Structure 1
Amino acid sequence: MVALANVQFGKENEDVRTVQKALIARGREIPDGATGYFGDQTKAAYRAEQLAQGFKGADADGAPGCTSLTALGHSIGFPVDCADVSAAGGGRLSLAQVTYHDPGDDSGEAAMQRYARKACELTGMDPRFGVPALTTIARRESAYNAPGQRVNAWDVNAHGSKVADGRPLNCSRGATQCIPTTFAAYHQAGTATTPYDVVASMCATINYVRDRYHVNQSGSNFAARVQQADPNRTPHGY
């Protein structure tokens, strides 16, 4: 059984190795062989498989989806579990598991671009699209994670009992201003449990916009689907 959640860009495990072997058996080129690491070579090979299956344009982005991986599994002989992949990136939290410690991550545009690249790596989004979109959101939502802008205690969400950071539970927090319930529902496995962590916040944002706005796996339609991510349009809550 291969879990779709395990075979995304940047992952290293036996499920990746199984998929690599299947791609090689199907004639897709991976020069380094079945290493178990999903890097650029595997992404290119998977894109070739998607094209062979009839996917076109942004849908042939080298990022495994349930349909293409299931077809690959059928052709080679391994079952696929798509249930592990959800809008929460396979790492959904309960609200009680969300923490409110601010790790003091860097601020500024360059820092946001760096964190965004990591978030794209963890979620399988193409950084060509994800980095500018996330950086634009961070600029508009928190002035690039500026210390005085990391929690919104004045808008309609700012209600509920006080939590560990001394703010009402439902306040928007972090570089991309996630409310705790959204952060918990769309949390990315392996990232921090606090929305103040920039990478964790950006990953949750990616998972959220994929579910809520139908942003595709590569993120090529991120700015088109989410106005707040488009620097060429006026700011708009998301």
Structure 2
Amino acid sequence: MRVLLIEDDATLGAALQEYLNDQDYAVDWLQQGEQALKELENQVYDLLVLDWNLPGVSGLEVLQQLRKADNPIPVLMLTARDDLNDRVAGLDAGADDYVVKPFDLAELAARIRAFRRRRTGLGKPEIEAGPLVFDTVGREVRCHGERIALSVRELSVLEMLMMRSGRVVTKQQIVNSLSAWDADFSENAVEVYVYRLRKRLEKTGVAIQTIRGFGYLLDVENRV
């Protein structure tokens, strides 16, 4: 899951990025509202964690501009404003959730997991694609109850493919998602991890198809 964090406080921003990376989220961190708007014009994220009190363009203004442009990205607002009118203003502007500072990191992580469950349409923290079941909390994949041993990067690539099962995922989308951990992550590296995943999935009845010129598609109907 790829998260864009907008927080102008350097100490808090660095701490949140480190904590969420440890939770296996790919997190890009910026400190200004203008940067957020520009970034979201060019990149696709699964969630925006947005501070309200930003220098220049405020978090509320960022949110209003996103919704005016019909950008549907889920938005979790972070703010020290705990007045009821402020909370109502944030939600009315298009925020999906609202966390008041100071907050517990475990609570924030739980709210982000809730976004993940909503995005997959599941009431439980699992993604299913054919016989594959991805436990997003335990970070493991099972096939017919048997665990498939995968590296952290292999899990991340497979998660993207399972989230979009039946749809094409481009190499660049995978690069964008994983480059938050490694700035040197490339399309060549994607090819390596897809090759490894194909070997791991050989006996599962699931295949990763190459859609030439576009990317990859998880084929859950394939039988080997």
Instruction: Please report the TM-score for the alignment, with normalisation by the length of structure 2.
Output: 0.28
| Between structures 1 and 2, the one with greater strand share | 2
Between 1 and 2, higher relative CO (CA 8 Å, sep ≥ 6) is seen in 1
TM-score, normalization: structure 1?
Answer: 0.27
